[in-house]
Structure 1
C-alpha cells in the first residue's frame, strides 16, 4: 500500500518545490531589492508616461474630437513634404554615419592599446561638450565667411563661398557630427568580440584578405551595424537644434515643425498629432528591428 502511495506524494512534493521558487521571487520583488525600482518607476510615470498620455489625448481631442489633425497632416503637401524630408534626412545621416564609423571602429580593433584609448577619447569627446555650443561652432565654420570657405578661398580652390549652411548639407554635417559616437561604440563592441582566428583560417585555406574580410568579418559585425544604425536613425528623427541652426526652409524637419506649431501658432492639437506620428514611426522601427536583432542585448545590456 505504501508503495502505491509513494509516487503521488513525490509528485505533490515536486509540485510544491517548483512553486516555491516563484513565490520566493515574487516576495523578493515586493519586499526586497525590487523596491529600489519604485522611485524610478514613479518618476517615469510622472514625467514620461503621464505627459505622453496627455499628448496622445490632445492629438484626437484638440480642437475637436476625431482624427482631423492626422487628416490635416496627410492632406497638406507642406506637412507631407516635411514628414518625407525628416525620414530622408534621417536615412542619409544614418548612411553617412555608418560609412564613416565602420572603418573608424575597425581601426580601433587593430590599434595598440594606447592608440585605441586615444581613438576612444576622440569618439567620446562630443559627449563632454554642449550640443548647442557644438552647433554654434559649426555655424562659425560653415557660414559664407566662416573658416572653411575663407580657407578654401585663400588657397585658391574656390572663388565663391560654398553653400554649406541653410540647406540639407549643413544639416547632415551637424547631425553626423553629433550622432557619430552612437554608431562607433556599438560597432566597436561587436567587432572586438569577433574571433580573428576565423580570418586567419580563411587566409590559410587560400582566401584573399579582402575576400575573408567581406565574407567573414562583415557578416559577423552585422549586429553592431544594425544596432548602431537603429540608434542613429531613431535619434535623427527627432532632431531640432541642429536643423534649426544649420538648416533652411527646404530642410525643415518634424521637430522644427512641432516647435513652430506650439510656440508660434499655439496649435497644441496639431503639434500633438505630429508628435504622435513621430512616436508611432519610432515604435514601428523598433518592432521591425526587434525581428532581426536582440534589442535587449544591444540597447540595454552589455554585449
Structure 2
C-alpha cells in the first residue's frame, strides 16, 4: 500500500520536478560548464574570481550591503507586522494597504521614484534648500546609501509574511499568564513574544538576504555604477566586457554562498527554536 502511495505521489509531483529541472538545474549545469571550459578548460576562472581585487571588492560590498539591508528590513518589517497583527481594525487596514500597494508597483518604477526623491535636484534636497536648512544638496544616490534605501523599501513587504505567520501562531495563553503574574508589557515582549517569533525572524532575514544578494535593477540605478554589486558585475562581464567564463564562475560561487547560508540559517533556526 505504501509503495502504491509513493508511486502516486511521484506521478503527481513529476511535472513539477521536470519543470524545476528544466528551469533551474539544466541552466545551472550549463553555467558550471562555462565556468570550467571558457576560455580554456580548468579552474582558472575560479582562481581569478577569488584573487582579483576588483571581484573581491564587489563581493565584500555586496555582502556588506546585504547584511545592512537584512537587519534594517527585518527590523522595520517586525514593527509593521506587529502593528498589523496586534493593532486595531483601522490600523490593520492601513498597514494592509501599505503592504499590498508596493506589490502593484514595479521595481523599476520604485527605483526611479527614489531617484526623483533623493537625487541632488530631487524633491528632498529641493525642499531642504528652500527651507534654508541646506546650502548644498546632500548626496543620497550614486552611493551605498541610495542602494540600501531602495533595497529596504522593496524588501520590507516581503519580510512581513513569515513574521505574520509566526506572530499569529504565538500562544496567547502564555502571554496572558505572564501578564497575570505581574510581568510588564516590555518584559513580556522581549522575553516571551520575541523568542516565540524567532522562526519568523529567521525566515524573514533569510528571505531578504537571498533576494538582496541577487538584486540588479535597484543597485544599478541608485548606485549609478559607483556601488556595483555581484549581479551587476556578472551583467557587465557578459555584455560589456565579454568574459563569460569569469561571469559563470562568479555566478557559481554566488550560488554556493547562498546555499551555504541557507543551510546555516536553517540549522540555526532549528537550534534556537523555543
Q: TM-score, normalised by structure 2?
A: 0.93
Look up the SS of the partner of 2:42 in the other structure.
Answer: coil
The residue aligned with 1:72 is 48
The runs of 4+ residues in structure 1 deviating greater than 4 Å are none
Residue 167 of structure 1 corresponds to which residue in structure 2?
143
Partner of 1:26: 6
CA offsets per residue over residues 235-254 of structure 1, 9 Å max, x none? 11001100000004442100
1:104-152 deviation line (CA, Å, top 9, x unaligned): 1111122223431331221121111111111111111111111111112
- Residues 67-93 of structure 1: CA deviation (Å, up to 9, x unaligned): 111111122111111001111000000
Aligned to 1:131: 107
Gap runs ≥5 in structure 1: 1-20, 295-303
Q: CA RMSD in A?
A: 1.6
Aligned to 1:259: 235
Q: Size of the alignment, in residue pairs?
A: 270
Higher-Rg member (1/2): 1
Q: Structure 2 CA distance, aligned partners of 1:285 and 1:113?
A: 38
RCO higher in structure (CA 8 A, sep ≥6): 2
Contact 2:198 2:269 in 1 (8 A): no
Q: Alpha-carbon deviations, 1:251-275, whole Å to 9, x = none?
A: 2100010000000111111000010
Name the structure 2 match of 1:155: 131
2:117 to 123, 137, 141: 141
- Measure, in 1, the Cα distance between the counterparts of 2:42 and 2:138: 47
Query: Per-residue deviation at 1:27?
Result: 4.0
Q: Give CA-to-partner distance per residue, 1:191-211, whole Å, 9 cap, x none.
A: 122123322322322322211
TM-score calculated relative to the size of structure 1: 0.84
Structure 1 residue 117 corresponds to structure 2 residue 93: yes
CA distance in 1 between partners of 2:137 and 2:267 (Å): 47
Task: Supply the distance in 1 between the matched residues of 2:253 and 2:168 (Cα, whole angstroms).
Answer: 37
CA distance in 2, matches of 1:195, 1:153: 51
